[in-house]
């Protein structure tokens, strides 16, 4: 039996609910059960970086080369761009741990390990493209400014002063989450037999910069404490005006199909005037959802130990709306369906660093092939957009091909911007069976 925690802070009061078990036949989920946060860890990283901005150790709009020596073009990115996924960096990278080197040298080693040909597939700076690499770099920049390791910095500046039980996933790091006994559950859809596979809590890589993008675990109540701090309602750990940058939309940050806008460490969900801010995350068999309303100060957080957590989150949102608390959601508009032939010029390979996706026609069906060979059909729609329901997902998402200026040159998929890599004369027939 899977489980979850729900925490809602509204009208000055905190309301919590727990249900299920940490693992089949194990302890019931309780208020102290720690769940892996996945990418919601980035919101902690963002707050910590803004603390250093508040203290004058960093600024938002100077190139990071101001603090890190080197000639790599990636160092022209700013802290604001790293926080808002507009730094022109790829989604992920292979770990290139520089051992005990200082953070600044580790940062340069990470960049230097990327061969020049691979950089041609990096997104353009200023374009929104969800990037774990950006948060890896940010953690090294922050650690270099404090003179501490990244885990020590986050603990010293944020986790301990905030008085949360949140900590890192198991590994050789300080402040491991104290009660991390919650296991994840991979649940197959009914068509695949509805099989449940239990996954034990997995340690993150020992490369500490990876922790900044998705290495934290804790309770739903810990998430509420962080969100209240971001709203200026927590302890005096950061200038409230600096924290307001988290819920200020960044110009040009268009997270197509992922959210309705993006600030610093938070996405915007809903139309202006009804917008909530927040972040979602997944780990191995767990999900995490955080939303906060900068107008009323209301916070909603849900942690689950199942891949079906997204369906539970949708159900929670419906229940809250029925109870008079409509939480903003991202509902991408689906254009009308279009002939698949309109997408013939879009066929070929698209890359974002090490992420490669191939668009092809299989028996007159537009198909996307992901790394590892997994392929699934998508529904062609007007304006070169498409919708898809990947295996194991409960809700469709949308993507689109972009023209620059006439030929398709990029693909937006799940918040990532991928660059077309096949030359025009090769791609006209690419992918046809």
Q: How far apart are CA 1 and CA 102, in angstroms?
A: 45
Q: Could you give the residue ranges of the DSSP H alpha helices within 192-259?
A: 211-214, 220-230, 240-243
Output phi, psi for 18, to 5 deg.
-135, 150
Answer left, alpha or beta for residue 182, where phi above 0 means left and psi between -120 and 50 means alpha. beta
- Phi, psi (deg, nearest 5) at residue 250: -90, 130
> Residue 268 belongs to what H/E stretch?
strand 267-269
Pairing of strands 408-413, 397-403: antiparallel
Q: Rounded to 5 degrees, what are φ and ψ at 357?
A: -130, 135
Pull the structure tokens for residue 316.
């929670």
Structure-token pair, residue 334 = 């689906």
Q: Which residues make Cβ contacts (< 8 Å) with residue 365, sequence separation at least 6?
A: 340, 377
Res 268 pLDDT > 90: yes
Nearest to residue 58, comparing CAs of 42, 74, 45, 40? 45
Report whether 171 contacts 206 (CB < 8 A): yes
Q: Is 253 helix (H, G, I), strand (E, B) or coil?
A: coil
pLDDT digits (tens, 9 = 90+) for 137-174: 899 899 989 999 889 999 999 999 999 989 888 765 56
Distance CA 238, CA 232 (A): 9
Rounded to an integer, what distance in angstroms lies between the CA atom of residue 231 and that of residue 116?
41
Average confidence (pLDDT) over 31-46: 94
Alpha-carbon distance values, 248 to 39, 268, 294 (Å): 20, 9, 10
Are the beta carbons of 278 and 10 closer than 8 angstroms?
no
- The answer to whether 398 and 332 have CB atoms below 8 angstroms apart is yes
The percentage of the chain sitting over the pLDDT mark of 70, rounded to a whole number, equals 82
In terms of pLDDT, which residue wins out, 291 or 106?
291
Cα separation, 63 vs 301, whole angstroms? 34
- pLDDT-derived band of residue 370, with 50, 70 and 90 as boundaries? confident
Mean per-residue pLDDT for 347-359?
90
Residues in contact with 214: Cβ distance below 8 Å, sequence separation at least 6, in sequence order: 37, 38, 39, 41, 42, 132, 204, 281, 283
pLDDT higher than threshold 80 for residue 183: no
Most confident of 198-207, 248-257, 303-312, 387-396: 248-257
49, 213 contact by CB (below 8 A): no
CA geometry: angle 194, 197, 203, nearest 5 deg: 145
How far apart are alpha carbons 15 and 9 in whole angstroms? Answer: 6
- Determine contact, residues 180/146, Cβ cutoff 8 Å: no
Find, among 38, 287, 34, the residue nearest to 178 by Cα: 34
Listing DSSP states for 355-382 in one string gives EEEEEEEETTEEEEE-TTS-EEEEEEEG
Is the Cβ–Cβ distance between 186 and 285 less than 8 Å? yes
Percent above pLDDT 90 for the chain = 54
pLDDT at 396: 72
Which pLDDT does position 92 carry in this prediction?
81
Q: Record the tokens describing residue 394, joined without a space.
A: 């409960």
**pLDDT at residue 405 greater than cutoff 80:** no
Q: Are 281 and 38 in contact (CB under 8 A)?
A: yes
What is the chain's mean pLDDT, rounded? 85
Instruction: Look up the pTM and report it.
Output: 0.90
CA distance 291 to 275: 10
Q: What is the pLDDT of residues 61-87, one digit of tens each?
A: 999 989 887 888 888 999 999 999 999
Q: How far apart (Å, rounded) are the C-alpha atoms in residues 229 and 329? A: 22
């Amino acid at each position: 039996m899977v489980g979850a925690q729900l925490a809602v802070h509204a009208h000055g009061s905190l309301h919590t609910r727990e249900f299920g078990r940490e693992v089949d036949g194990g302890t019931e989920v309780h208020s102290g059960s720690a769940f892996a946060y996945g990418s919601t860890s980035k919101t902690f990283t963002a707050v910590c970086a803004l603390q250093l901005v508040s203290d004058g150790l960093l600024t938002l709009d100077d190139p990071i080369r101001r603090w890190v020596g080197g000639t790599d073009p990636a160092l022209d990115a700013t802290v604001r761009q790293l926080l808002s996924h507009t730094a022109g960096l790829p989604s992920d990278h292979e770990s290139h741990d520089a051992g005990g080197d200082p953070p600044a040298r580790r940062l340069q080693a990470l960049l230097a390990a990327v061969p020049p040909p691979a950089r041609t597939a990096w997104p353009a700076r200023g374009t929104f493209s969800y990037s774990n690499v950006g948060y890896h770099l940010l953690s090294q920049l922050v650690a270099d400014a404090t003179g501490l390791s990244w885990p020590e910095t986050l603990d010293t500046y944020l986790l301990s002063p905030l008085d949360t039980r949140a900590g890192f996933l198991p590994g050789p790091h300080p402040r491991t989450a104290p009660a991390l006994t919650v296991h994840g559950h991979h649940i197959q859809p009914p068509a695949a037999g509805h099989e449940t596979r239990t996954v034990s809590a997995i340690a993150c890589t020992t490369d500490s910069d990876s922790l900044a993008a998705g290495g934290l675990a804790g309770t739903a109540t810990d998430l509420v404490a962080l969100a209240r701090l971001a709203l200026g309602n927590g302890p005096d750990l950061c200038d409230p005006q600096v924290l307001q940058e988290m819920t200020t939309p960044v110009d040009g940050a268009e997270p197509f199909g992922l959210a309705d806008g993006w600030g610093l460490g938070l996405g915007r969900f809903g139309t202006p005037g009804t917008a909530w801010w927040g972040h979602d995350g997944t780990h191995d068999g767990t999900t995490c959802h955080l939303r906060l309303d900068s107008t009323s100060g209301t916070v909603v957080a849900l942690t689950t130990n199942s891949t079906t957590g997204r369906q539970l989150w949708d159900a929670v949102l419906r229940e809250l709306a029925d109870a008079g608390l409509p939480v903003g959601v991202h509902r991408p508009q689906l254009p009308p369906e279009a002939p698949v032939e309109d997408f013939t010029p879009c066929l070929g390979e698209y890359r974002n660093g090490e992420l490669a996706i191939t668009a092809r026609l299989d028996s007159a069906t537009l198909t996307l092939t992901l790394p590892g060979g997994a392929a699934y059909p998508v529904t062609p729609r007007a304006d070169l957009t498409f919708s898809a329901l990947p295996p194991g997902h409960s809700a469709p998402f949308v993507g689109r091909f972009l023209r620059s200026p006439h030929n398709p040159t990029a693909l937006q998929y799940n918040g990532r911007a991928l660059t077309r890599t096949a030359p025009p004369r090769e791609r006209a027939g690419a992918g046809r069976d």
